[in-house]
Amino acid sequence: MSNLVAYPVLLCFGTGILQLLLHKRVVLQRALALLSSMAGIVLSVLLTYTIWTSGIQVQTAGGWPVPFGITLTADLFSGLMMILAAVVLFTSVLYIFKDMDAASERTFFYPVLFFMMAGVNLSFATGDIFNLYVAFEVMLISSYFLMALGSKGPQLREGLKYLLLNTVASSIFLVAVALLYGVTSSLNMADIAAKAAMDPGNPYITLAGMLFMVVFAAKGALFPFYWWLPRSYYYVPNGIAPLFASMLTKVGVYGLIRVFTLIFVHDSGLTHSLLLVIGGLTMLLGVIGAISQYDFKAILSYHIISQIGYMIMGLGLYTVLGLAGAVYYIAHHIIVKSGLFLLSGATSRITGNTDFKHYSGLLASHPGLAFTFFATAISLAGVPPFSGFFAKFALLKAAVEKGAWGIAAVSLVVSFFTLFSMIKIFRKAYWGRPSGQRIQRDRKDYIAALSPAVILLALSVAMGLGGGYMMEFALATADQLMNPAIYIEAVMGR
Amino acid sequence: MEQALGAVALPLVAAFLMPVLYRWLRWRLGLAALAVAAATFILVILTPNMSLVIPWVSQLGIDLSIHVDGWSRLFALLIAGIGTLVVLYSIPYLGSREDLGKFYAYLLIFMGAMLGVVYAGNVMLLYVFWELTSISSFLLIGFWNTRDDAQYGALKAILITFGGGLAMLGGLAILGTVGGTFELSGLLANRTELLAQPLTTVALVLLLIGAFTKSAQFPFHIWLPDAMAAPTPVSAYLHSATMVKAGLFLIGRLWPIFHVHPLWVPVVATVGMVTMVVGSFLAIQKTDLKAVLALSTVSQLGLIMWLFGLATPEAAQAGTFHLLNHSTFKALLFMVVGIVDHQTGTREIPLLSGLRRAMPVSAALAMVGAASMAGVPLLNGFLSKEMFLTAVNNSSMGLAGAVVATGASLFTTLYCLMLGHKIWFGEPGETPDEPKEGSRTILVPPLILAVIIVAVGVFPALAESAVVGPAVAAVLQAPAELPHIALWHGFTPALLMTALALGGGLLAYTALPGVLAACRRVTPQRYHLNALYDFLWWKNQAVEKAAKWITNRQMTGYLRDYLVYTLGATALLFFGTMLVKGVRIPALNLSPVGPWEFLLAAIIAVGAVFTARARTRLAAIASISLVGMPLSVLFGLLRAPDLALTQVVVESVTVVLFLLVFPHLRQITLYPRRRSTNVNVLVALAVGALGTVVTLLANGARLFPPQVAEWFLRNSMELGGGNNVVNVILVDFRGFDTMGEITVLTVAGLAVYMLIRLRKQQAGGGKS
């Protein structure tokens, strides 16, 4: 029993409430945001360290016994996700200070931001399937608020599609929970998993699993449910786009990995093979979308989809190495994607635009920006020695070891197209004759806008050069995921 | 061991200092880079043969494993030696106006990465550095990125080499899985078991694609001529002397494992042969000096590939020796061409003639280089060319191979004459700049190379014992009786072939215009590999257009389409699983359905249909109430008053809200009935069926006793202090959920407030 599990969630909730009370004092809200995001890093690292040394951490809300009350449960995977959430929140907050228009900042921006992060952290911390639904709701409504904040016509239009399609997914979530509860008579995930293991391969449970696959695939923007993502993320304000792009869809991925390693594991011939196909199509169609675009932010938005395919590839392979690759990839992706969106923002702060039609040739005047982008971009494409290479290689090796040739080939082809589209951004935005407008700002401002991305790039490099440590952690995480008995034992066996 | 690590690390680390140092040193930065390169060269010389493993990502089998043997030493000497000369050459060549900080940073990254490739004892580590050389090559080709040709060449180079690299990565993954390790020594030890596995063939083909793309072998050779958009020092260094030889390096590493594989000789030797012929054939048709050199590099790389493909020890020896010689004479030729370009302002052969009067030293140097490439005696090229012809003649290819080799050599002679004779002799022509001899500093590096060419040509035994011998031994990994490299072997078939190639070349040179015209007639002008590349990636951008087409088919932008896809896929997955798994709806023990229930259900159904068909918003709202209100009555009938109450409240509030916003909404746009409407109806029905099935299953398919529900019922009063179980669950047992839901409501409220304010702002012209 440890309260540590709840702290990252409660920290965000508490920060949000305090900021709501101080809604007229933007400076105080900013200070709180900064302090809280730093404290979040410390708490999540502490939590993960505790899990590393003394196993899965469990806490029951209100002290009601398992499985009757709501259980919070954090294994290494949850802990890692919370660390990543805290890190990108921190870098986003740094950037938001520079790049959020004042009117929006005054309109409950910070409280809702932290409510959203509370939802995100709760998704990682909860061990209760209905509570997960609640966490998703908190996240969804807050994200919609942030998306629509200070909005113009197209932003509202795309935001509405986002809201509606996600609400449909939420309704299916509810239906799925109802079915699962009907069949197992429980909402506690460990309890459900234990019951599913008693009757392995029960078709009702598999059927419920399919509904959950739909739900999390829709939340995580997988084929054929990703329709809401490309345009809506394109219109998300630059300040919070990094957080959206890197974190929100990954909550869906987290949900998918959680239930398909804990509960729905007894019919993997059907479910996980299907996931492999979905993963392959997702990465392929995502990257095809990306190479069809001629806009910095639009390319990046499509790439989110493509990369989620890789994570699902690891889950679909359903081996320790495959899941370790997926975990490594998620960590890499969250850091790098966040960095790329920050760079897109920092670039459009100079050019006032993200469409390549309107500018080019920034390399000569802004080499720091250009090379931070270049390094981050080739990390995304999986060029060594950055983090992306080891993550992708772990997945490739897992596929080869399993003899999954199709997905192995697709992953290599997608890597190629990824590099092509990253090079396209680099060529169009940074190479060539300087053209387009340049918004004049002082040097301090430029450095402040660039530094969050540099921090993230440094993390990507560290995750690549320290690949051995990352891989050790990822393998330990995958080991926990592949052995649901550990999770069940931690929750139920007390 | 420190020397090997230092040799790799020093340039890599120094590279990152270059842009910083540039601020202080300005044009003198070249000297700092020169110091780094020279220090690296010394470290390379001091590096002994060694093996060392430092754990890195051991879980994946990737370790910092250093393995230095004769084969790596040969390459390392070329990389650091020619690298030093190139840096020296670049100082006067580039001048002070260029962005030197970036240039030397890229160049040193390349140097370190390339040394990493040749020192790696783990094939994955080799791959890590391999990709780094592609990246630095991309940046160097695009150094003058404001020019279109630089961008074109850089993109082409990275697409082809990175694509090949990915194929290689796939091959390595298979090789490591089959062989159980990525360590070269381990793979070598397991070679017999490896070759017995059918998967190894796939791995080999993929690895060869990697090597062929990097070494510009047919049909991947098309990137190399366009890489000439890079500054000439880069062309001399990366694109002739070192990087393009990485593929050959890999071939040499694979040789001891795979040369007995049945695919080795047919694939590697054929590709090498075709590349040599195509390269030399195309080279003579070019008018740009650098293009001639690029294609001659392609041809020479093909020659070396061919030799390694023959899989005999004597061919491997010839290949190794020619690799060394090619680096020397080709780097020299590039440097001289760079000087010509620099001093005359053009590289077009038709514009250049009689330069020997103005540029005597350059002329002499160019003649040494060209003669060596053509295979004129007393120069190093003669020796390795002879060995090449002998090896081909003695190989399984026999006479046919010998004829092709002689023919390709004839073309070689021809372009060597263009490089070593045509531009230097005859009447001086008009050039953009008045030609004059290059400065002394710029002439020093090619002079050093010329001295090496002659020295090796006259005293081949020195080169053999110092570099070539150990390198060949490392490739063969087995003792072999090899002939010593010597100036004179007597009257051999090879000598005859050399004489034929030189004589025939001279003869063709006297009738050059006719020969060229004949060659151009048989060269395809419209359908060739470059046209294919341009169609796909550059001029027509077919790939991007195809991607756009695919994307636009699905991303229509219409919410109704997205809903159909999403819900349709959901229904498909759900019912598909039911079908596959044979899920049946269990028998249910339900209470009887009375007339009231039927009536209410009928009203709801009518309401639903009307809502979907409504043509005005008011009608739609009214119809929705026709769905909602009977539902609350139904709840009441089923004795769930709290649910009924909630439903009534929700319904009323919704209607009121709708009426409030009514004046602000536009009329419903009516679309003509399309075929897709039927699909919509089908999907809607399927979703309804899904809901029904789930409801039935949730009630009928209970596999476990309702332990949780019973616990709530039992303990509601005692532990929760309330008779209404639902209330106790909401506020106590599962109060944490309710806290979340309250947050949702709060944020929703804030969102409404924000949107209203937004509306006011927009109405008020931006004022708040």
Closest Cβ opposite residue A203 in set B58, B550, B582: B582
What does the pLDDT read at residue A494? 58
What does the pLDDT read at residue B115? 96
Mean pLDDT of A32-49: 96
Whose tokens are 């802990």? That residue is A79
CA-to-CA distance for B365 and B386, rounded, in angstroms?
22
What does the pLDDT read at residue A63? 87
Residue of chain B minimizing CA distance to A115:
B743
Strand pairing of B50-57 and B62-68?
Answer: antiparallel
Is B697 close to A288, i.e. CB distance below 8 A? no
Is B145 close to A397, i.e. CB distance below 8 A? no
Mean pLDDT of B647-668: 80
Residue A114 · residue A32 · CB < 8 Å: no
Residue of chain B minimizing CA distance to A427:
B151
Confidence of residue B674 (pLDDT cuts 50, 70, 90): low
B266-288 tens-digit pLDDT: 999 999 999 999 999 999 999 99
Q: Please, which residues 417-446 of chain A have a Cβ atom closer than 8 Å to chain B?
A: 419-420, 423, 427, 431-433
Tell me, yes or no, if A283 comes closer than 8 A to chain B by beta carbon: no
Structurally, chain A folds into a number of domains equal to: 1
Is B128 close to A385, i.e. CB distance below 8 A? yes
Q: Is the pLDDT of residue B768 over 50?
A: no
Of A426-440, B131-145, B470-484, the range with the highest mean pLDDT is: B131-145
Q: Which of A26, A121, A145 to mutate to test the interface with B (most CBs of B within 10 A)?
A: A145
Residue A182 · residue B702 · CB < 8 Å: yes
Is B740 close to A119, i.e. CB distance below 8 A? yes
A357-384 tens-digit pLDDT: 888 999 988 999 999 999 999 999 989 8
Confidence of residue B527 (pLDDT cuts 50, 70, 90): confident
Please report the number of interchain residue pairs, chain A to chain B, with beta-carbon separation below 8 angstroms. 277
**Chain B nearest CA to A230, separation (Å):** 9
**Chain B nearest CA to A36, separation (Å):** 19
Is A112 close to B747, i.e. CB distance below 8 A? yes
Tell me, yes or no, if A187 comes closer than 8 A to chain B by beta carbon: yes
Closest Cβ opposite residue B135 in set A378, A415, A471: A378
Residue of chain B minimizing CA distance to A196:
B703
Is A175 close to B691, i.e. CB distance below 8 A? yes
Give percent of chain B above pLDDT 90. Answer: 63
Is A185 close to B162, i.e. CB distance below 8 A? no
Closest Cβ opposite residue B733 in set A68, A169, A419: A68
CA-to-CA distance for A393 and B455, rounded, in angstroms?
47
3 state SS of A483? coil
Is A390 close to B163, i.e. CB distance below 8 A? no
A387-431 tens-digit pLDDT: 999 999 999 999 999 999 999 999 999 999 999 999 999 999 999
Tell me, yes or no, if A211 comes closer than 8 A to chain B by beta carbon: yes
Q: Report how far apart, in Å, the C-alpha atoms of A391 and of each of A222, A227, A422 are.
A: 19, 26, 18
3 state SS of B122? strand
Nearest CA to B354 out of B442, B425, B262 is that of B425
Is residue A433 left, alpha or beta, with left meaning phi > 0 and alpha meaning psi from -120 to 50? beta
Mean pLDDT of A123-142: 95
Tell me, yes or no, if A61 comes closer than 8 A to chain B by beta carbon: yes
Q: Which residue has the higher pLDDT, B202 or B619?
A: B202
Q: Is the pLDDT of residue B764 over 70?
A: no
What does the pLDDT read at residue B183? 94
Is residue A62 left, alpha or beta, with left meaning phi > 0 and alpha meaning psi from -120 to 50? left
Give percent of chain A above pLDDT 90. Answer: 81
B99 interaction partners in chain A (CB closer than 8 Å): 364
Is B59 close to A471, i.e. CB distance below 8 A? yes
B382-437 tens-digit pLDDT: 999 989 999 998 888 878 889 999 999 999 999 999 999 889 998 888 888 888 88
Is A68 close to B158, i.e. CB distance below 8 A? no
CA-to-CA distance for A50 and A44, rounded, in angstroms?
10
Is B151 close to A397, i.e. CB distance below 8 A? no
Q: Is the pLDDT of residue B456 over 70?
A: yes
Closest Cβ opposite residue B60 in set A138, A204, A397: A397
Residue of chain B minimizing CA distance to A228:
B562
Burial class from Cβ neighbours inside 10 Å (0-12, 13-18, 19+) for residue B695 reads middle
Burial class from Cβ neighbours inside 10 Å (0-12, 13-18, 19+) for residue B711 reads middle
What does the pLDDT read at residue B766? 40
Is A416 close to B163, i.e. CB distance below 8 A? yes
**Chain A nearest CA to B698, separation (Å):** 4
B692 interaction partners in chain A (CB closer than 8 Å): none
Closest Cβ opposite residue B737 in set A70, A213, A416: A70
Structural domain for A331, as ranges: 3-492
Closest Cβ opposite residue B711 in set A68, A206, A427: A68
Peptide bond into B705 cis (omega under 30): no
Q: Is the pLDDT of residue A298 over 90?
A: yes
CA-to-CA distance for B95 and B443, rounded, in angstroms?
15
Peptide bond into B225 cis (omega under 30): no
Tell me, yes or no, if A62 comes closer than 8 A to chain B by beta carbon: yes
Q: What angle (nearest 5°) sits at the alpha carbon of residue B635, between those of residues B634 and B639? A: 115
**Chain A nearest CA to B312, separation (Å):** 33
Q: Is the pLDDT of residue B661 over 80?
A: no
Q: What angle (nearest 5°) sits at the alpha carbon of residue B280, between those of residues B279 and B282? A: 70
Residue A286 · residue A308 · CB < 8 Å: yes
CA-to-CA distance for B306 and B269, rounded, in angstroms?
4
Residue of chain A minimizing CA distance to B167:
A412
Is A148 close to B755, i.e. CB distance below 8 A? yes
Give percent of chain B above pLDDT 70. Answer: 97
Tell me, yes or no, if A387 comes closer than 8 A to chain B by beta carbon: no
**Chain B nearest CA to A94, separation (Å):** 23
What does the pLDDT read at residue B765? 44
What does the pLDDT read at residue A156? 81
Which structure tokens are listed for A302? 């499509």
Cα torsion for A290, A294, A298, A301, to the nearest 10°? 20
A64 interaction partners in chain B (CB closer than 8 Å): 733
Is B704 close to A195, i.e. CB distance below 8 A? yes
Tell me, yes or no, if A190 comes closer than 8 A to chain B by beta carbon: no
CA-to-CA distance for B208 and B167, rounded, in angstroms?
9
Residue of chain A minimizing CA distance to B134:
A383
What does the pLDDT read at residue A3? 86
Residue of chain A minimizing CA distance to B570:
A214
What's the distance, Cα to Cα, between the start and end of chain A in Å? 9
Look up residue A430 and give its DSSP letter. I
Is A179 close to B698, i.e. CB distance below 8 A? yes
Is A183 close to B698, i.e. CB distance below 8 A? yes
A475 interaction partners in chain B (CB closer than 8 Å): 59
**Chain B nearest CA to A300, separation (Å):** 15
ipTM exceeding cut-off 0.90 for this assembly: yes
B57 interaction partners in chain A (CB closer than 8 Å): 390, 467-468, 471
Of A107-121, A307-321, B721-735, the one with minimum mean pLDDT is: B721-735
